[in-house]
Structure 1
Amino acid sequence: MDYNAIALLMFATMLLMMITGQRVFGAIGFVGVVFAFFLWGDGATDMGFQAVIKVMRWSALLTLPMFIFMGYVMSESRIADDLYRMFHVWFGPLPGGLAIGTILLMVMISVMNGLSVAGMAIGATIALPELLRRGYDKQMISGVIQAGSSLGILIPPSVVLVLYALIARQPVSNLWLAGVMPGLLMAALFVVYIVIRCGLNPLLAPAMAAEERARITWSERVHLLRAGLLPLFIFVAMMVPFLNGWSSLTESSVIGVLATLLVASVKRKLTWRVMHTATVSTLQITVMFMMIITAALVFGAVFDGLGAGRSIQRFFTDDLGLAPWQIMVLMQLSFLVLGMFLDDTAMLVIVAPVFISLTKSLGFDLVWYGIMYTITCQIAYLTPPFGYNLFLMKAMAPPEFTMPIIYKSVFPFVLIMLLTLLLVGIFPDIALWLPRTVLGY
């Protein structure tokens, strides 16, 4: 059988196993090992052990448990409560004000951790009950929490961008800075949509009652503004030493953990229960990441050994004779389709190495492409049938949040993400201006 046909069969088998409900790491790793055995014999079974060794040598992966732990400490200690109260007081009088506050809360949470799951946990435990109590439309609630939490993988410190930096051999500092402006742009577009949508139909998101507004004094409003200093303190403590070269990426992630623990201690919310839950949850998520990465490395080694990457490159550039921007559009469309079935880690380790080399050969900037890829991952988090955030929302929300409601709620926000992707694609300086200004990239 032709090697290209074998590579296609590998990919189709992996997708079929995932559709039937198999674990992501199991489907990827099983297909990789079985095909390696039939292609190259007994010696190929060592590829799994080699992948483990390769993962152990990626020192930057030590940042994963640190950022995950930060997110869970913030979620379990509920240090985001005051932040949400601040946004509630300042934006509550507006139609959709609490939804706007939820998006801004997610921006704040994003600068304190690098994962979507922490934002989802905080949104489901803090924002969702309050939004329901105030009569917000369930579809609006679901869309706002899911879209807002996805900002965590674009705004630094993003774990996805750390993984991309490892694959693309690009400085993490450049990628983190490149994610700032697109992340804030996307958040701003979310807010604009909420303002317009709730302005047209105030019943979707009722404003705070006049009598409640009257009970809130200006001294209380000013006092609550201090809650916004917490994420700023954690962000500065972690990022300043890293961007100035005083600490490595791993050391900065440890500083971030210490700053988060300090904040929780000062607020008297660092309990044994918080530490236990955060530690156990961190271990579970970290092990899941490592197993997916290890399995994907095995699959990728076999896939690349078949010459699939070079075949794809020849197909685009020689056989089809497409212009570079046409190839870029096709790559992004393929990521959007794959995102309906794979999570961002699996896509990154399996497909991204092929597309990264193709992007480099076409003359595109790899830092810019990293942001394009990450925005595509955000869209993948929200697109049926296997969007990661869709299932998290169902697991965390009350029973009245049915899957049809959850599915329908994300489409306006997916369109906004696609608009952001288009804007960053047309105007690369949205992503590249900040790293060029700060680091001279």
Structure 2
Amino acid sequence: MIGIIMFFASLVMLLYGFPVAFTFAAVSLLFGVIAGIVEIGFDDGLIEGLTEGISEGLSMFDFMPYRIMSIMENTVLMAIPMFIFMGIILQKTGLAEKLLESMGFLFGEIRGGVAISTVLVGTLLAASTGVVGASVVAMGVISLPVMMKYKYNTPLACGTICASGTLGQIIPPSIVLIILGDVFRVPVGDLFSAAVWPGLGLVAAYIIFILIVSYFKKDMAPAIPKDPSRGSKMKQVIKALIDIIPSLTLILFVLGSIFAGIATPTESSAIGCLGAVLLAVAYRSFSLDMVKEAAFESVKVTSMVFGILIGATAFSMVFTYTGGDEIVEHFMMNLPGDEKIAFILFTMLAIFILGFFIDFVEISYIIVPILVPIAMNLDINPVWFAILIAMNLQTSFLTPPFGFALFYLKGVVPDSVRTVEIYKGVLPFIFIQVAVLLLLVFYPEIFGISSSM
């Protein structure tokens, strides 16, 4: 039971606000020593037992340098800093502003049009940048004032922005999918291909929800009056295409090279970085200071991910050494009902609840490695299971009280927008995500995925 106690001790420390990477590393070290002392016992006396137990506990960390070296040499994880760099460069080019402005006026004349355009722009930003914080902030700064001006329901407007901004977690190229590809030991390109239809299905569900709400409650999402100064409808369509085509071209180059088998995700991320820089030059926003700032941001985020990964490696090592994985496997394999469906539903519920409190990186590196061997024993398709987890982890960005998208939006909204309105606004979108997730659980064939290996 030492491993199980260690797991809950880590959660308690995280809730108190201790840094994630240091928490997992410190807790692993402490409980590794405790496990060594318990194994040796005190038959030879208190001092001897403590000395030998501490030595035994510390000995399990002898191979940590080799594990860290294998992390550093992992070519799959090299894609993370490059995709982050690509997203930050694109965010600084003003791409989101151009897309939102054009799409807003293109769809604004129908009820719910600005909200629909926000979802569509969020989809394009997800496929081109994948940076949740940048997408939410950009749409909060640009799209929210327009919706507020035309008397949109505030919770609906806030919920639409938060949900659209988190699409980068499931629509490739997604950092979550890269991490899960490494954890599951499956090609990231396979995950990217499998995630396209579930991601687009989620987008379609958002749009349908907005259309239904605006149809039955006309005052919640009114249409924007036609602006003659914008020119004819054809001119608006042409301008929208001019703004969309550059980012769409980059998406086709990055994802197309992966799906066609021309390049690996790591190689395509390099293509994306080059394309982002060329777009910055085309938009006349390129500067060495911008590149330097983007590089620093990329290093900071990447360091956070790898720091957590090192702490998680120590945690999983001690957890396995103390037999925690066997306890979890025994519990999972004895759930009532069909063992495969019961396992999937229980893990989805557990990840959903954990998403209220901890970040997707910690869940990916701490929880998922415990579940992967059990899924293999149950003949569960690892690609399907990874996509389920990715969609579930996307929900963690929306769930109060620690949903990051909520904090990102709250940081840029006017003071008149209360936090409770943001929370209220995301609830329907959380239910939509859960509904699409359940559809993916029971009917994966709709999305072109098989549930078995």
**Fold similarity call, TM over 0.5:** yes
Whether 1:216 and 2:248 are equivalent positions in the alignment is no
Structure-1 residue corresponding to 2:4: 8
1:165 and 1:175 in contact (8 A); partners too: yes
> Map of 1:42-441 to 2, 5 A cutoff?
42-44=58-60, 46=62, 49-210=65-226, 212=227, 215-217=230-232, 218-318=234-334, 323-432=339-448
**Structure 1 residue identity aligned to 2:306:** M
- Aligned residues of 2:106 and 2:240 also touching (Cα < 8 A): no
Post-superposition offset of 1:214: 6.8
Shifted more, 13-22 versus 320-329: the winner is: 320-329
Q: Are the aligned partners of 2:22 and 2:311 in contact in 1 as well (CA < 8 Å)?
A: yes
Distance 2:187 2:8 in 1: 34
- 1-structure distance, mates of 2:102, 2:420: 32
* Deviation readout 1:261-297 (Å, 9 max, x if unpaired): 1112112122344323322222222221111222112
User: Which structure's CA Rg is the greater one?
Assistant: 2
Q: Is the 8 A contact 1:292 1:346 kept in 2?
A: yes
- Report the equivalent of 1:31: 27
Between 62-71 and 123-132, the greater mean CA deviation after superposition: 123-132
- Indicate the residue corresponding to 1:438 in structure 2: none
Query: CA–CA distance in 1 between the matches of 2:228 and 2:377?
Result: 58
SS at match of 1:157: coil
Mapped contact 2:139–2:161 kept (Cα < 8 A): yes
How much does 1:400 deviate? 3.0
Structure 2: runs of 5+ lacking an equivalent = 37-53
Q: 1:33 touches 1:48 (CA, 8 Å); kept in 2?
A: no
Preserved contact between residue 35 and residue 322 of structure 2 (Cα < 8 Å): no
Q: Which 10-residue stretch deviates more, 44-53 or 355-364?
A: 44-53
- What's the secondary structure of 1:351's corresponding residue? helix
| C-alpha separation in 1, matches of 2:384 and 2:304 | 28
| Alignment RMSD (CA, Å) | 2.2
Q: Which residue of 1 aligns with 2:46?
A: none
Check whether the contact 1:66–1:253 (CA below 8 A) recurs between aligned residues.
yes
Query: Which string of whole-angstrom CA distances, capped at 9 and with x for unpartnered residues, describes residues 22-61 of structure 1?
Result: 2222322221222123324333455654553232122211
**Residue 376 of structure 1, CA deviation:** 0.6
State the shift of 1:143 in Å: 0.6
- After superposition, the Cα gap between the structure-2 partners of 1:39 and 1:433, relative to the gap in structure 1 and judged at 3 Å, is closer
Q: Which one is further off, 252-261 or 195-204? A: 195-204
Retained in 1: the 8 A contact 2:80–2:175?
yes
Partner SS state of residue 58, structure 1: coil
Distance in structure 1 (CA, Å) of the matches to 2:338 and 2:11: 27
| Closer, same or farther: CA 126–204 of 1 in aligned 2, 3 Å | same
- Per the normalisation by structure 2, the TM-score is 0.89
Matched, 1:19 2:34: no
Instruction: Give the distance between the partners of 1:286 and 1:337, measured in 2 at CA.
Output: 26
CA distance in 1, matches of 2:421, 2:26: 35
The AA in structure 2 aligned to 1:204 is: M
Letter in 2 for 1:216: G
CA distance in 2, matches of 1:125, 1:67: 23
Query: Which sits farther off after the overlay, 38-47 or 285-294?
Result: 38-47
Higher helix proportion: 1
| Alpha-carbon distance change, 94 to 220 in structure 1, aligned in 2, over 3 angstroms | closer
1:379 Cα deviation (Å)? 1.3
Question: Aligned equivalents of 1:304 and 1:149: distance in 2?
Answer: 37
Q: In structure 2, the residue corresponding to 1:202 is in which secondary structure?
A: coil
Decide which moves more: 405-414 or 132-141: 132-141
The Cα of 1:216 is off from its aligned counterpart by 2.9
> What are the superposed Cα offsets for residues 378-403 of structure 1, whole Å, 9 maximum, x if unpaired?
11111122222222222333333332
Task: Provide the rounded CA distance (Å) in 2 between the counterparts of 1:138 and 1:320.
Answer: 43
Q: Structure 1: any 5+ residue segments left out of the alignment?
A: 435-440
Q: How far apart are 1:348 and its partner, in Å?
A: 0.9
Please tell me whether the aligned partners of residues 51 and 298 of structure 1 are also in contact (alpha carbons under 8 angstroms). no
Identity of aligned residues (%): 28
Contact 1:33/1:47, CA 8 A, preserved across alignment: no
Distance of 2:33 and 2:418 partners within structure 1: 44
- Write the letter of the residue equivalent to 2:371: F
Alpha-carbon distance between aligned partners in 1 of 2:279 and 2:77, rounded to the nearest angstrom: 25
CA contact (8 A) 1:63 1:249 kept: yes
Cα 1:39–1:327, aligned 2, differ >3 Å: closer, same or farther?
Answer: same
1:68–1:282 CA contact under 8 A, matched in 2: yes
Distance 1:270 1:324 in 2: 52
SS of structure 2 residue aligned to 1:61 = coil
Equivalent residue letter for 2:287:
T
TM-score of the pair, normalised by structure 1: 0.91
Of 405-414 and 117-126, more deviation after overlay is shown by 117-126
In structure 1, C-alpha distance between the alignment counterparts of 2:286 and 2:150, rounded to whole Å = 30
Deviation at 1:432, TM superposition (A): 3.3
